Structure 1
Amino acid sequence: MRTGSMRVAEISLPAIRHNVTRVRELTGGAVIVVVKADGYGHGARIAAEAALAGGAAMVATADLEEALALRDAGIEAPVLCWLHGVHADFEQAVAADIEIGVSHLQQLEALAAAADRAGRPASMQFKLDTGLSRNGAAPEEWAPLFARAAELERAGLVRVRGVFSHLANAGEENDRAQAARFDEAVELLRSTGIEPEMIHLAASAATFSSPHLHYNTVRVGVVAYGLSPFADKTSAQLGLIPAMTLRSEIVALRGVPAGAGVSYGFNHVCETATTLALVPMGYADGMPRALNGAGAWVTVAGEHRPIVGRIGMDQFIVDVGPLAGRLGLGDPVVLFGDPECGHPPVEIWAGLMRTINYEIVVGVGPRVLRVPSEELEGGGA
């Protein structure tokens, strides 16, 4: 597969479809796939189309700008967004049929006013705080907020389609406490005459670990992209297929003697004569500079070869050693992908950086071309 770009994130559409289907089969309910942050770095339009093809009931973003970008990209399916600034243009959202997550009374009134100006009801879901202490309406706000929404629904200005919250993933006891508060909120909402179509608390982790928290809808992010939300379980163990393969190519090969220093500061010195391959990816492309000397590796000609020397803004170096005679300019290099295919899993970078796989894929830079692919390198359907 050639695109003309030296930096490619190949996105497997069959993998995303498989992962969403896997979640649907696991939960038996509706699935909302989160495509915020440019589809977790995979490309929002690419991810949304594949998720919907895999059976997602709707897709979701954090903010309105991301949701409107999906509309501009041709996504006509239901889109939910829930993180709003005080100057959010809800009239534009209503006109584009974007579903709004409402977290407080001021937002509700602003949405209703926008619906009145637009001459059509606004679709919305309640975003509640059940213990994460982050975005969402606090328990003391629920009664007046729900009562006002019921009035506005009867007036034909809003349609309350759902209610949701977000778990803190702070252990089973805390999850159950949050679920209990969420149940109270759902009952309070129903007591006003509103019957939510979508009730969702579980995100990726609880979708796989806590069937009792599935309700009738789950809202997943990272698992849709084939990545595990758990430190002790791999994608394959969850029946998921990583969708992103981060690729580059060799643009220079250089034989060096023993004792040759490599890249800035010579923090790597070759112990023996070897061959170094130059790869045009760097920290501007989301390759953490702190991987220097950390033990990270790439796949070249089907073999694992170490990254050596300091990573630059645009390039890094691989010691290709005994592979030298088999390599040529333009040969592919895989930075991470599906470990079932022998590629480095993204979790290697995450572990070395003491972070999570989410941060690595979201951090893949804008110079990297996202290329949708109908190929499926790993297992699955």
Structure 2
Amino acid sequence: MSTRTPAPGAGTASGAHYHPAEVIVDLAAIRANVATLAEVAPTAEVMAVVKADAYGHGLLPVARTALQAGATWLGVAQFSEALAIREAGITAPMLVWLYTPGAPLEQAVRADIDLSVSAGWALDEVVRAARSSGRTARIHLKIDTGMGRGGVFAQAWPDLVAAAMRAQAEGAVQVVGVWSHLARADEIGHPSIAAQVQAFTDAVHLAEAAGARLLVRHLANSAGTLTAPQTHFDLVRPGIASYGLTPAPQYRSADGFGLVPAMRMESEVMLVKDAPADQGISYAHLYTTTEETRLAVIPLGYADGIPRHASNVGPVRVGGRTVPIAGRVCMDQFTIDLGPARPDHPEVVPGERAVLFGTGANGEPTAQDWADAAGTISYEIVARMGARIPRTYLNALGVDDE
């Protein structure tokens, strides 16, 4: 039986947390997805990537759920996320990878948070933090194997490794991991994947030859986890796939990968009214009615994460039909054209639920449908859902899941 748990402050018709829309997160779907990912990478541990408020799904509920499902690590981008997880009493191994000079590294070391080291200056700051805290910092050295983003390129790798091993010899750090990130794993069979695997393997061998005794070597993201077993090594880092969305939509759907979308976005209809033909809708009148019709206003906008690029195209399911947004998405609302009143069209009334996206069952749109319509990726659709929209959690296993 499904259990429904509102986030703190949500689920009431009055008060400061009222909102006419709701993000519904099915934690059972996340458990199933994490279990599926563990099955396709049986030789590796799973790091559930819960950055960006777990891609908009809720940091703490998802972190706990992923661990319940068999993930053994957590991965976050920002210190605030890592510290929130520790403050909630979650003690699982965790890696944080984005910080700049002056970051509160000592606080992270004291909280047993593993740190990514992508440059010489970062290693220097970690060493200072370790000395200040009187504790050994656990670090994962990052090699740039072709992404062209974080980490050091191959020519600088020997120097970073040598410096890290000197710091380890004095007890300031423990090099527990080497990692990198795939650039084109969603392009199945792309030659860059093999090139990155080779570059990563070479980097690992150099680190081990220098004396590193690695606990984990990790390269695979969601696409690598699902489609490229040669990238699995000791640990995989699925992000979007944990939330039931495909990392390679041009190759296979979420369902084709055995994934179930965990997020459902609903809103109550605010206003329904009849409009004449030739009526311009919303700013700049990018949409004009072609006949007498019925309009509905949905109280969500780009301040809530609805892409402005979804103007005139974002699909909404209401009254048993799916219709696109009519006109420009505004900051807090948008309009849909329901078409003329007809006996075979159920009447839509204020307060009725409209579904922006969900699992795709019963004809409702999916986050991937929104991504296709707006010319973006499903990651952006779910991750940008605004914090002011209440989250409700289905199928929590314990009282601490919210």
Partner of 1:343: 364
Partner of 2:293: 274
* Larger relative contact order (CA 8 Å, sep ≥ 6): 2
Match of 1:206, as an amino acid?
G
2:249 is equivalent to residue 234 of structure 1:
no
- Report 1:32-71 matches (<5 A): 32-71=47-86
Partner of 1:165: 180
Summarize deviations over 1:245-275 as a string: whole Å, max 9, x none: 1111112221334444433344333333332
Partner of 2:220: 202
TM-score for both structures, normalised by structure 1? 0.91
Summarize deviations over 1:188-239 as a string: whole Å, max 9, x none: 1111222211111111111111111111211111111111111322110110
Q: Secondary structure at the match of 2:237?
A: strand
Partner of 1:379: none
Match of 1:7, as an amino acid?
A
CA contact 2:320–2:346 (8 Å) conserved in 1: no
2:37 is equivalent to residue 16 of structure 1:
no
Partner of 2:7: none
Given candidates 178, 200, 210, the residue that maps to 2:196 is 178
CA contact 1:7–1:367 (8 Å) conserved in 2: no
Partner of 1:82: 97
Q: Secondary structure at the match of 2:392?
A: strand
2:142 is equivalent to residue 127 of structure 1:
yes
Q: How far off its partner does 1:179 sit?
A: 0.9
Summarize deviations over 1:259-316 as a string: whole Å, max 9, x none: 444333443333333322221001111112232223x321114432332233221111
Distance 1:263-1:72 versus aligned 2 partners, 3 A rule: same
Q: Secondary structure at the match of 2:174?
A: strand
CA distance in 2, matches of 1:104, 1:319: 53
CA distance in 2, matches of 1:76, 1:341: 40
CA contact 1:24–1:30 (8 Å) conserved in 2: yes
CA distance in 2, matches of 1:144, 1:247: 52
Partner of 1:363: 384
Between the two proteins, the alignment pairs up a number of residues equal to 374
Match of 2:48, as an amino acid?
V
CA distance in 1, matches of 2:91, 2:139: 17
TM-score for both structures, normalised by structure 2? 0.87
CA distance in 1, matches of 2:325, 2:124: 55
Q: Secondary structure at the match of 1:220?
A: coil
Identity percentage over the alignment? 40
2:307 is equivalent to residue 293 of structure 1:
no
CA contact 1:299–1:344 (8 Å) conserved in 2: yes
Given candidates 133, 142, 159, the residue that maps to 1:144 is 159
Partner of 2:242: 224
Partner of 2:262: 243
Q: How far off its partner does 1:165 sit?
A: 0.5
Q: What's the RMSD between the two structures over aligned residues?
A: 2.1
Partner of 1:378: none
